[in-house]
Copies of this chain bind each other. A is one copy, B any other.
Amino acid sequence: MVELDRCEINCIHDEAVQAVRQALFGEDVAASLAELFKALGDPTRVKILFSLMTRELCVCDLTAVIGVSESAVSHQLKILRTLRLVKFRREGKILYYSLADDHIEKLFAQGLEHVTE
């Protein structure tokens, strides 16, 4: 019962606040969503993911395509892996990365719509 302690009487629309509060997903879901979007919120990772939309690539290829150090790519790949945004298969010494599922492509498509309008 943590009620309003600001804007005591005037500004708050009680019913609205109650309704929205109930509809609002939990703290954990909000955190997960934010974590996902945050992972997409970096130019290097955007480029990695977009590159992988074309085809699977090894770390070395990604380095060449994107133009950052191999270490930086590797660090970012770890983040993307942790969030199940990319997966990889091993072939000898080489690791081939690819998108984990097709959500990312849809997210990018939506994002591009917003950005390029």
The reply to whether B103 and A61 contact each other, CB–CB distance below 8 Å, is no
Per DSSP, are chain A's interface residues mostly helix, strand or loop, or mixed? Answer: helix
Q: Which of A70, A108, A110, A114 has the most CB of B within 10 A?
A: A114
Number of copies: 2
Q: Complex: how many Å from CA A17 to CA B64?
A: 7
Contacts of A17 in B (CB 8 A): 57, 61, 64-65
| 8 A Cβ contacts from A34-93 to B | 34-43, 45-47, 50-51, 54-55, 57-58, 60-61, 63-65, 67, 70, 84
Chain A interface (Cβ within 8 Å of chain B)? 2, 4, 6-7, 11-13, 16-17, 19-21, 23-25, 27, 29-43, 45-47, 50-51, 54-55, 57-58, 60-61, 63-65, 67, 70, 84, 94, 101, 103-104, 106-108, 110-116
